[in-house]
Structure 1
Amino acid sequence: MNIVIVDDNAVNLTLMAALARAATGFEPVRFDDPVRGLAWCRSNGADLIIVDFMMPGMDGHQFIEGIRASAHLADVPVVMVTAAGQSAVRRRALEIGATDFLTKPVDSTEIKLRLRNLVQLRQAQNLLRDRAAHLAAEVKTATEAIESRERELITRLSRAAEFRDPETGGHIQRMAHYSALIARQLGEPESFQEALLTAAPMHDIGKLGTPDHILLKKGSLNDEELVEMHRHAEIGERILAGTDSPLLRLACQIAASHHEKFDGSGYPHGLAGEAIPLPGRIVAVADVFDALNSTRPYKPAWSMDDSRAYLEKHSGAHFDPRCVSAFVDAWDEVLAIRARFPD
């Protein structure tokens, strides 16, 4: 416990220190200069401060204002020592944050009782604060464990989808990192970028419900097969719906909206413009781009430049122009991601 006594009178300082020691069992820190005392409190903290009112250079009011201006000293008990009859001084001290008063000439028994009570109050405050910090740390640990399990679940579901889909694990990694890159370029918070990186691989989870003869067909799909293929967005939404997990809610939003088009001609709901959730607009760019320059049973891989040109040509129709611009403006990073996660 840091008990601090500030008084320019050496006799008063010695007397108050002896009373504080007797009342609390702690050795107080003493200052005859209020400026030095204030600086020490700001640097080292305090649990109880006893300060005289009449001092040269800085009076008790100014000292208390300096104490209360520091956030870590805002709730420290401060006792002001005043002469009898100084009611105006006391009122002002209360206004600026004094906790209690001691009156000269001092009553040693009263002083010891008051100081003992204030130290006990401070000890209770510290215990409560420490317990709150401990509980906060436990909650943080538990939350991190839940989020880790959610990320593991998303990863495992994404792998399950990969087993049925000709798309490679490299595609999943690339489109997820492209999505996070676009989010960063748009100025989205880092927490959103990280969540998108985790959730984006779930975009095609609905293909678990797509028949193999359609999913693995070499060549173009007929109209009936296209209708069935398009159902994977709704299936993915149903698989992931009804969760309290923020990550899985984000994955659900992506699964349901990444095939919507900016001009409203997409599926499953025909949403247009900013009615399409931002995660879906971002993933649409990332997914289509990587699909174009990846080999599929029904097509050879396009070049990176041709894939980029496709995005730019369909900006404002298929894709959100802001997302396309954010993507191509970071072209060197796009190339680095492509090289980092090969098929």
Structure 2
Amino acid sequence: MSNISSSETIDSLAKALFTRDPYTALHCRNVQNYARKVALKLNLSASEIQNIEIGALLHDIGKIGTPEDILLKPGKLSDKEFESIMLHPTQGYDIISGIRELCIRGIDKSILHHHERFDGSGYPSGLVGNEIPLAARIISVCDAFDAMTTSRSYSPALSPEAALEQLKSNAGTQFDETVVDAFINCYQTKVIKIDKVILNKMEMTS
């Protein structure tokens, strides 16, 4: 697959998610922005950073397969509905697994494992510590921070400072402590700023 066709595929997937659920698509853009800065702070290579950005942008692509009444429900999910949401990493992996270049670059695995927990209690595979791909560990922290600082009908947004405290308190259990430290450093040095992405469909480009 050429770079051009790969870029077009990523762009098409991002637009498809925006059409299905603009909230999730914009959340993915925020996560992509945070993940890039954390990856830079960790001194990763240019290719690693690019792969992390793509994985972050597409980490929730599996929600395309989530029933609309659950995906767009204004209130809190029931246990059964949450079980349906928990399928999205596997559904995303299934979507990306047909794109050979993204699999070669490990992007399929960062999507599959972004809800693993450092202590092994996450899903879908119960991976522990460094068994979890670094890209997925970075996306996990950035994903959680953006979710915590975003208002929902059933849950008001936390302040950035309160969200950082949540990351700290869960470092070593839910999150990789090194990634949390890098994220906090980026925030404290104003490398990461809380500027939520606002886009229209025509701006959903990779």
Which category describes the TM-score, using the shorter chain as reference length? Answer: 0.7 to 0.9
Establish whether residue 334 from structure 1 lines up as the match of residue 192 from structure 2. Answer: yes
Q: Structure 1 stretch 286-295 or stretch 160-169: which is displaced more?
A: 160-169
Shift of 1:341: 3.2
Helix, strand or coil at the partner of 1:329: helix
* Contact 1:240–1:252 (CA under 8 A) maintained in structure 2: yes
Amino acid corresponding to residue 312 of structure 1 in structure 2: K
What runs of 5+ residues in structure 1 fail to find an aligned partner? 1-142
Structure-2 residue corresponding to 1:283: 139
Amino acid corresponding to residue 192 of structure 2 in structure 1: V
Establish whether residue 231 from structure 1 lines up as the match of residue 79 from structure 2. Answer: no
Q: Structure 1 stretch 287-296 or stretch 242-251: which is displaced more?
A: 242-251
Shift of 1:181: 1.2
Moved over 4 A (4+): none
1:69-148 equivalences in 2 (<5 Å)? 146-148=2-4
More strand by share: 1
TM-score for both structures, normalised by structure 2: 0.87
* Contact 1:241–1:249 (CA under 8 A) maintained in structure 2: no
CA displacement 1:296-328 (0-9 Å, x = unmatched): 343222211111111111111111001001111
Establish whether residue 303 from structure 1 lines up as the match of residue 163 from structure 2. Answer: no
CA displacement 1:269-316 (0-9 Å, x = unmatched): 111111111111010011111111112343222211111111111111
What runs of 5+ residues in structure 2 fail to find an aligned partner? 200-206
Structure-2 residue corresponding to 1:270: 126
Structure-2 residue corresponding to 1:250: 106
CA displacement 1:8-29 (0-9 Å, x = unmatched): xxxxxxxxxxxxxxxxxxxxxx
Amino acid corresponding to residue 267 of structure 1 in structure 2: Y
Helix, strand or coil at the partner of 2:192: helix
Helix, strand or coil at the partner of 1:151: helix
Distance 1:248 1:300, change over 3 A: farther
* Contact 1:161–1:208 (CA under 8 A) maintained in structure 2: yes
Structure-2 residue corresponding to 1:201: 57
CA distance in 2, matches of 1:299, 1:176: 23
* Contact 1:154–1:199 (CA under 8 A) maintained in structure 2: no
CA displacement 1:133-179 (0-9 Å, x = unmatched): xxxxxxxxxx8xx2132122112202211222352554222210211
Shift of 1:244: 2.4
Establish whether residue 213 from structure 1 lines up as the match of residue 69 from structure 2. Answer: yes
Structure-2 residue corresponding to 1:184: 40
Shift of 1:201: 0.8
* Contact 2:70–2:81 (CA under 8 A) maintained in structure 1: yes
CA distance in 1, matches of 2:71, 2:36: 27
Structure with more relative contact order (C-alpha pairs < 8 Å, separation 6 or more): 2
* Contact 1:182–1:282 (CA under 8 A) maintained in structure 2: yes
* Contact 1:166–1:216 (CA under 8 A) maintained in structure 2: no
RMSD, aligned α-carbons: 2.0
Establish whether residue 316 from structure 1 lines up as the match of residue 172 from structure 2. Answer: yes
* Contact 2:18–2:26 (CA under 8 A) maintained in structure 1: no
Distance 1:339 1:243, change over 3 A: closer
Distance 1:247 1:177, change over 3 A: farther
Distance 1:199 1:247, change over 3 A: farther
Helix, strand or coil at the partner of 1:326: helix
Q: Which has the larger radius of gyration?
A: 1
